[in-house]
Amino acid sequence: METYDDLPFPSTEVASNAIRFVREAVHPAVYNHSMRTYLYGRFLGERKGLRPDLDYDDELLFLGCVLHDVGLSPEGDGDQRFDIDGADLAARFLTERGVAADRVEVVWDAIALHLCFDVAARKRPEIALVTAGAGYDLGLSGPDLPDGYADRVHAVLPRLHAGAVLYDGIVDQALTKPHKAPPFSLPGEFVRQRTGQEWPTWRQLMDAAPGWNDYDGYPPPA
């Protein structure tokens, strides 16, 4: 397994297999983003006093991070939102390599919840830090990195227009399969931005429900 200089990636067999799988499966920018997600998730955990392999399972955190966007690969492009497709693909990959079901479940949850920031933050560290690390890598707010650390990371894992590549990957899937980007979801918002399409209002959604008639005779608010 590559050492990436002195960056602290796990060296277990399943971690090495996951790296090879993701590198071949996704765009290089997505691969680099996934690897950086682990580094930043681990950093954010340390800022909270969480110690790898003492307060959380470091291998599980890494697997959740490195696999969290495999739903944007050709193999991962199924009929669900990309995050759910990715969770299912990651679970199949790990199960086929003999990873125990309870460990696979943690990785599935980490990937499936990585767009649900408030929910993921309430979960165990292996789940919460995937979402935190992914968000940090895409420029969301957080504590400052140590001086020079981002430069060191980007020297071996360059950004390669990560934010733009991720956006286009999500939208391109959804333009082919619109059900992958339902209204009010993050993929749905990306499609709305790209196409200018309008989302239905709540009243329109309720009026479309066959036979319910929830607004018939309902008084408007005062």
Print pLDDT tens along the chain (222 aa). Answer: 455 768 889 989 999 999 999 999 999 999 999 999 999 999 999 999 999 999 999 999 999 999 999 999 999 999 999 999 999 999 999 999 999 999 999 999 999 999 999 999 999 999 999 999 999 999 867 899 999 999 999 999 999 999 999 999 999 999 999 999 999 999 999 999 999 999 999 999 899 888 888 999 999 887
Q: How many CB atoms lie within 10 A of CB 83?
A: 23
Residue 8 lies in a domain: no
Q: What is the CATH number of the domain that holds 112?
A: 1.10.3210
Domain with 174 in it: 13-198
Residues paired with residue 52 on neighbouring β-strands, in sequence order: 56
Residue 221 lies in a domain: no
User: Cβ(43)–Cβ(59) under 8 Å?
Assistant: no
Residue 133 lies in a domain: yes
User: Cβ(94)–Cβ(14) under 8 Å?
Assistant: yes
DSSP 56: B
pLDDT of residue 1: 42
Cα(9)–Cα(188) distance, integer angstroms: 34
Residue 137 lies in a domain: yes
Alpha-carbon Rg of the chain, whole angstroms? 19
Number of domains in the chain: 1
Residue 81 lies in a domain: yes
| CA angle (67, 6, 117) in 5-degree steps | 35
Q: How many CB atoms lie within 10 A of CB 110?
A: 30
Residue 49 lies in a domain: yes
Cα(202)–Cα(213) distance, integer angstroms: 13
